[in-house]
Amino acid sequence: MEVINRHVTIRKFKEKDITEDLLEKIIYSGTRASTTGNMQVYSVIITKERYMKERLAPLHFNQPVAVKAPVLLTFIADFNRFSKWCEHNKANPGYSNFLSFYTASIDALLVAQNVCIAAESEGLGICYLGTTTYNAKEIIELMNLPQLTFPVTTVALGYPDEKPGLTDRLPLEGIIHSEKYNDYSGEDINKLYSYKENLELMRQFVKENNKETLAQVFTDVRYSKADNEFFSEKMMQTLRDQGFLD
């Protein structure tokens, strides 16, 4: 719990390599995560070479961490391997559907979180790159991913060269529901988000983006409806191309 509760995002790393032995230990800890039916329908692609990072960087919106981190780990929802095992053993796999994609995505994300915790327990820092699904099509092409695979997240890994403070989180009362979902009143919403809205950094975001509220920064700038719809359709088409949708 102490390791988890101290988690911060690291975007600046020392120029220090992660040994193969340590990297394998961390990924092994990742594989101890829960998995649907013990199928382990995921894969992990390790990227260390700078030329590959530079090709990946635009697909992660040119975040500097995508190039400067010693290691990038791309976590793949992977029903390709399991389906081939079935076929080689006279079984008929039925995994070319959205449910299977979702199952494999959950498996891959559970592994990714285990990897992050294991890495931080060994003194490493991590940065979760939420940009992977935006440009999944291009990542698939770059990494030669076959049918029934899909990249779901990327984690940058290395020894920290900064000490950022903890980021804000909603109070537990805002996320816990007893027995059934209890919807939020306007008063509840104001109370739950007041701390975040009044942080100096958040006030600065509002000012820099010439907005009236912090919520508008999210809806109009960071995660706009137009962008969400564009990348949603792109993702759905890529799922079709990868064999997860008809």
Q: Does 30 fall in a domain?
A: yes
Give percent above pLDDT 90 in the chain: 100
Domain containing 35 equals 2-165
Spatial separation of the C-alpha atoms in residues 226 and 232, rounded to whole Å: 10
Environment class of residue 168 by beta-carbon count within 10 Å: exposed (0-12), middle (13-18) or buried (19+)?
exposed
Q: Does 140 fall in a domain?
A: yes
Residue 142 maps to which CATH number? 3.40.109.10
Q: Does 138 fall in a domain?
A: yes
Mean of per-residue pLDDT scores for the chain: 97
**pLDDT of 151-186, one tens digit each?**
999 999 999 999 999 999 999 999 999 999 999 999
pTM above threshold 0.85: yes
Q: What is the DSSP string of 4-27?
A: HHT--B---B-S-PPPHHHHHHHH
Q: Does 33 fall in a domain?
A: yes
Q: What is each CA distance from 149 to 59, 111, 168, 181, in whole angstroms?
A: 18, 16, 34, 34
Residue 157 is predicted with a pLDDT of 98
Question: Is residue 246 scored above 90 in pLDDT?
Answer: no
Q: Does 131 fall in a domain?
A: yes
Residue 9 is predicted with a pLDDT of 97
Residue 224 is predicted with a pLDDT of 97
Q: Does 195 fall in a domain?
A: no
Question: Can you tell me which residue has the tokens 């498996």?
Answer: 107
